[in-house]
Amino acid sequence: MKEINRLVSLSLRYIFLVLIAIPNLYIFYLILTPLTIYPSFFLLDLFFNVAIQGTIIFVQGKGLIEIIPACIAGAAYYLLLVLNLSIPNIKVKQRLKMIAYAFSILLLANILRIFLLSIFSSSELFSIAHHAFWYFLSTLFVAVIWFSEVKMFKIDEIPVYSDIKFLWSKIRK
């Protein structure tokens, strides 16, 4: 019975991951776009004269900041979701805490990133800072969040691999 429950859990976790990715991570952008734009706007508003129209934040003396889908980092949230859902033997309540932790930290880091890049938006440093965040720090953010989750929640399984190992053991019987 325990093996059947594990197979059902495994199937549901991976079906959910496939379904949520269709079409093009839409659900992530639908939810996370306002959760990213408005806090970024309010943070900038503490230090600058700003206005907002849709996904564009106008910062007086700095120009406009357009928050495009890549700025929302939907793929990074999806990667964290994949890592969290591809670990077996975790109770639903614990898994929800892990996902909430990962998403909250990434959201806060992303808002801070947008704020910091906005400060440099009118200087030559913007391009350098933007590329540094895009190519290096975004990957580092996800890795640090994941490893902090592993430590904080005492995860001892390996994402995907542990599920494959389990399936392989059932096939070999």
* Domain ranges (residues) in the chain: 2-171
How far apart, in Å, are the Cα atoms of 119 and each of 7, 57, 69, 110?
50, 12, 20, 14
Encode the chain (173 residues) as per-residue pLDDT tens digits.
688 888 888 889 999 999 988 888 999 999 999 999 999 999 999 999 999 999 999 998 888 889 999 889 999 999 999 999 999 989 999 999 999 999 999 999 999 989 988 887 777 777 777 777 777 788 889 999 999 999 999 999 999 999 899 889 888 86
